[in-house]
Amino acid sequence: MNLEFLEALRDIEKEKQISMEVLLEAIEAALISSYKKNFGSLQNVQIEINRSSGEVKVFARKEVTDKIEDVRTQVSLEDARKINPSYELGDILEVEVTPREFGRIAAQTAKQVVVQRIREAERSIIYEEYANREEEIVTGIVQRQEMKNVYIDMGKTEAILPPSEQMKGEEYHHGDRIKCYIVEVKKTTKGPQIIVSRTHPGLLRRLFELEVPEIQDGTVEVKSIAREAGVRSKIAVSSQYEHVDPVGSCVGPRGMRVQAIVNELNGEKIDIVEWSEIPEIFIAHALSPAKVLTVVTDESKKAAEVIVPDYQLSLAIGKEGQNARLAAKLCGWRIDIKSESQVEEENEKDLLSVDMEKNKSFLGNSDDNLQNDDCLEKEKKNKEQNSTEDDEEDEEKREKS
């Protein structure tokens, strides 16, 4: 190794942001292993690289002792003092043992170590960069598909779009530019593994942040999102300023802002509703585009009963219950939707059952009254009979007398 090698290490330090001192220390550690492997030495050796000239030297480290057991690791006090009279028992003596051909071996080893350290440093830099970007949106180019996984070129590395995170019915072609949401960044032996998603609700949130300046500056806030990727989504927004229309801000002039997001998601329908801290109002908004007549909530059960006009029932429920399902996810409430006619029928049945109960009660009372009258009549007859018998007995007594 020479000055040119040191200059190359300095260039690597600037370009790859890897400390030159770290590289030199790694080369020195690798050269120790290389020396022991190539020269079959069991000596305790130390390698030094001159930071100015690049010269490599190998030193055998021996302990100064009065009784030598292993000449490869120990030296007598007498021999040590021949080199330097200041040596004492227990000191370490360093003797240069640089082989003649060690320069070629050192160069090969240094190259391997530098290449390996550069790879490790690049992997570490990429990992740190993307680990801090979890839950953010990134743009990449579709590279290839393997085992249903889509690999996306992110520039410095590749991201994986697994089947579970792919939108239903969406096709991915080589060279397509798509936006994805970073779900997780893993550190592996082969470098960082970046998992991205096209179905995560966070993707919709980040797309609105990109398209709507009012969300970026905090004027409009995204409160909740319910999404069935590739089909339909609902997003609830609110504004801290009365003069700002949160829904209008998200829709944009002539619907340009929301349309850009719909295009990015390949035609996924998006309902934007205004959030309210009053559950009844929020639930009514969440069922948009259906019109709601009444909302009755039960806070303890987190359940709501919604009444809609007959002609709005199918719209409120949606295809295969999609509108009601998304509204329930958006609000966090269990929603039971009924039409006006259904409610009227239930009310009529309730009234009928109440009337029947009343009639039963009345009939029960009437029977009791009849029974009471019969008892009174019997008592009256008994009294009359008893009095007649008493009169007859009195008359008999008078006749006898």
| Minimum mean pLDDT range among 75-84, 201-210, 213-222 | 75-84
DSSP letters of 144-164?
Answer: EEETTEEEEE-SSSEEEE-GG
168 & 120 share domain = no
Confidence bin at 108 (pLDDT 50/70/90): confident
- With beta carbons less than 8 A apart as the criterion, state whether 339 and 310 touch: yes
Domains contained in the chain, number: 3
Domain annotation covers residue 191: yes
State pLDDT tens for residues 134-181.
889 999 999 999 989 999 998 888 999 999 999 988 899 999 999 999
What CATH code is carried by the domain that includes residue 163? 2.40.50.140
| pTM more than 0.85 | no
170 & 248 share domain = no
User: What are the backbone angles phi and psi of residue 190, rounded to the nearest 5°?
Assistant: -95, 5
Amino acid at 135: E
Mean pLDDT to the nearest integer, 315-329: 93
Sign for the pseudo-dihedral over CA of 61, 64, 70, 71: positive
**How many residues in the chain?**
401
Query: Three-state SS for 314?
Result: helix
18 & 60 share domain = yes
Among left, alpha and beta (phi > 0; psi -120 to 50; other), residue 191 is left
pLDDT of 34 above 80? no
Mean pLDDT to the nearest integer, 53-77: 77
Sign for the pseudo-dihedral over CA of 188, 191, 197, 203: positive
What CATH code is carried by the domain that includes residue 53? 3.30.1480.10
150 & 267 share domain = no
Mean pLDDT to the nearest integer, 270-274: 94
State which residues form the domain around 51: 3-129
Q: What is the pLDDT, as a whole number, of residue 291?
A: 92
Q: What is the pLDDT, as a whole number, of residue 248?
A: 93
| Minimum mean pLDDT range among 35-44, 105-114, 210-219, 366-375 | 366-375
Work out the end-to-end distance of the chain between its first and last CA atoms, rounded to an integer number of angstroms.
Answer: 166
Considering 109-113, 253-257, 383-387, the range whose residues carry the highest mean pLDDT is 253-257
The 8-class DSSP code of residue 278 comes to S
Q: Which of 158, 161, 159 is nearest to 147 (CA)?
A: 161
The residue out of 146, 169, 197 marking a domain boundary is 197
Amino acid at 160: I
Domain annotation covers residue 12: yes
45 & 97 share domain = yes
The overall average pLDDT reported for the chain is 82
Domain annotation covers residue 34: yes
pLDDT of 401 above 50? no
Mean pLDDT to the nearest integer, 253-272: 93
Mean pLDDT to the nearest integer, 303-325: 92
111 & 30 share domain = yes
State pLDDT tens for residues 70-99.
776 777 877 777 777 887 888 887 777 777
Q: What is the pLDDT, as a whole number, of residue 293?
A: 92
The residue out of 80, 107, 129 marking a domain boundary is 129
70 & 186 share domain = no
Please state, for a pLDDT cut of 70, what percent of the chain lies above it: 83
192 & 102 share domain = no
Residue labelled with tokens 């290449």? 115
Please state, for a pLDDT cut of 90, what percent of the chain lies above it: 42
105 & 173 share domain = no
Confidence bin at 321 (pLDDT 50/70/90): very high
pLDDT of 393 above 70? no
70 & 122 share domain = yes
